[in-house]
Amino acid sequence: MAITIYTNDDIKPGAIAGQRIAVIGYGSQGRAHAQNLKDSGHDVVVGVRQGGTGWKHATADGVPTAEPAEAVRGADIIAILTPDMIQNEVYRDIIEPNAKPGAALLFAHGFSIIYDRITPRDDMDVILVAPKGPGDLVRREFARGRGVPSLFAIEKDATGKARDRAMGYAKGIGGATGGLLETSFREETETDLFGEQAVLCGGAKELVMSGFNTLVEAGYQPEIAYFECLHELKLIVDLFYEGGISKMHHFISETAKWGAVASGPRVINDETRARMKTVLTEIQNGTFARNWIAENEAGKPQYAAWLKADSESQIEQTGARLRERMAWLQTAKSEAA
């Protein structure tokens, strides 16, 4: 049975009308959520430290600001959009002692709830709204009158208003315009972590680097290996993104298609899938979370070492030289700055 995709028409009119929304944190998602909610006519205040980067950006964007504790006081919905590893402190020190009875605690990722980093007060609704795109895309599509598909979930409905609050908030950031899908905190958290680790960030990076190293070790020029194993990946990912695997098959050559179906399963095989299942099991049983929390508490030495190794790898050195010749990338950098 196909999942229901909710639209703006499915959301109760005035679902969060008159409710004050405090957005805690003004990074990628916080900035997009706050601006979109404000432009949707909602009463929004951003909780950021006075004089900090977030305060400066929010002020420049014309979004009301306040110190975090002040922003929380009186808010009906409190969106905690800070990094995962500091959310427990933000909740303990700022939200729990200042949130009014019956407020909703809203997350964009369920890590802190699923791994017991935060135990919300009994009187609070606990909800999730997670756009399936980075903050700049969430903002850009909203400004165009469109929206990025989003997930929503209800972990606890203490007030009887949790579902309306989650769906109303999602509508306010453009999520229901893009299409709104219901999930659970556990499903969102575990699938998100798995996707990042096994496919999108971890898996794709290691596949690219392994392909590059295989060619270079076989005597091929690093520059040629870079183009074949990293640069051209964007062309394929764009086809996936626009029309799925079928579109990719349609636009590549017959030879490429034959190689894909004949050799792809030899690279990503039963052994690979077994390792993916291990990664998923460690996410499900909390091993990944415990290791990541411990790494943070130790000052992140292994994390820093691994990132340093990636940044100093041959593929990165080769790519940096080649990208200097790609005028379209330099133009994009100038526009972003």
Same structural domain, 158 and 233? no
Number of domains in the chain: 2
pLDDT at 220 over 90: yes
CB 98 within 8 A of CB 69: yes
- Confidence band of 1 (pLDDT split at 50, 70, 90): confident
- Annotated binding residues, as ranges? 26-29, 49, 135, 192, 196, 228, 232, 253
**If DSSP codes are grouped into helix, strand and coil, which group holds residue 44?**
strand
Mean pLDDT, the chain, whole residue set:
96
Q: Are residues 172 and 65 in the same domain?
A: yes
Cα 212 to Cα 313: distance, rounded to the nearest angstrom: 11
One domain, residues 217 and 176: no
With respect to residue 278, please indicate whether it lies within any of the assigned structural domains. Answer: no
Q: Is 47 helix (H, G, I), strand (E, B) or coil?
A: strand
How far is CA 76 from its chain centroid?
24
Distance CA(132)–CA(164), nearest Å, equals: 20
What is the set of active-site residues? 109
Tell me, yes or no, whether 14 and 115 share the same domain: yes
User: Judging by beta carbons within 10 Å of its beta carbon (0-12, 13-18, 19+), is residue 191 exposed, middle or buried?
Assistant: middle
Whether residue 103 sits in one domain with residue 47: yes
SS3 331: helix
Q: Dump pLDDT digits (tens) for 307-330.
A: 999 999 999 999 999 999 999 887
Q: Indicate whether 296 pLDDT > 90.
A: yes
- The SS3 assignment for 63 reads coil
Q: Is the pLDDT of residue 335 over 70?
A: no
What residues are designated binding site for Mg(2+)? 192, 196, 228, 232
C-alpha to C-alpha distance for 189 and 254, rounded to whole angstroms: 39
pLDDT in tens, 144-199: 999 999 999 999 999 999 999 999 999 999 999 999 999 999 999 999 999 999 99
Predicted local confidence at residue 2, as pLDDT: 82
pLDDT tens digits, 91-109: 999 999 999 999 999 999 9
Residue 281 lies in a domain: no
In a shared domain, residues 95 and 238: no
Indicate whether 160 and 246 sit together in one domain.
no
65 within a domain of the structure (yes/no): yes
**Which of the 8 DSSP states describes residue 100?**
P
d(CA 72, CA 58): 16
Residue 3 in 3-state DSSP? coil
Residue 34: which CATH number? 3.40.50.720
Domain boundary residue among 129, 156, 183? 183
The C-alpha atoms of residue 231 and residue 225 are separated, in whole angstroms, by 9
Binding site residue list for substrate: 253
Task: Note the pLDDT tens digit of each residue in 193-219.
Answer: 999 999 999 999 999 999 999 999 999
Residue 329: per-residue pLDDT: 87
Domain that holds residue 61: 5-183
Which tokens in the block code for residue 88? 């427990």
CA distance 258 to 269: 17
Of the three residues 137, 156, 183, the one that is the final residue of a domain is: 183
Alpha-carbon span 242 to 250, nearest angstrom: 12
CA distance 254 to 260: 10
Question: Among 183, 209, 229, where does a domain finish?
Answer: 183
**Same domain, residue pair 225 and 257:** yes
Banded pLDDT at 81 (limits 50, 70, 90):
very high
At 230, the pLDDT band (50, 70, 90 cuts) reads very high
DSSP annotation string for 171-220: HHTTHHHH-EEE--HHHHHHHHHHIIIIIITHHHHHHHHHHHHHHHHTT-
Residue range 130-145, pLDDT digits in tens:
999 999 999 999 999 9
Tell me whether residue 323 is in a domain.
yes
Same domain (yes/no): 112, 219: no
172 and 210 assigned to the same domain:
no
153: CB partners within 8 A, 6+ apart: 110, 127, 128, 166, 182, 183, 184, 185, 187, 188
**Tens digits of per-residue pLDDT, 55-79?**
999 999 999 999 999 999 999 999 9
Q: What is the average pLDDT across 291-302?
A: 97
**Mean pLDDT on 333-337:** 61
**Residue 188 located in a structural domain:** no
Note whether 62 and 156 are same-domain residues.
yes
Residue with tokens 């006075």: 50
Q: Is there a single domain that holds both residue 67 and residue 160?
A: yes
Condensed to tens digits (0 to 9), the pLDDT of residues 244-286 reads: 999 999 999 999 999 999 999 999 999 999 999 999 999 999 9
Answer with the residue of higher pLDDT: 249 or 335. Answer: 249
Domain annotation covers residue 283? no
Q: What is the layout of strands, in order, in the sheet containing 180-182?
A: 5-6, 180-182, 150-156, 125-131, 104-107, 77-80, 20-24, 43-47, 65-66
Nearest to 109 by CA among 22, 30, 167: 30
Q: Is residue 290 in a domain?
A: no
Q: Is 193 among the domain residues?
A: no
DSSP-assigned letter for residue 97: T
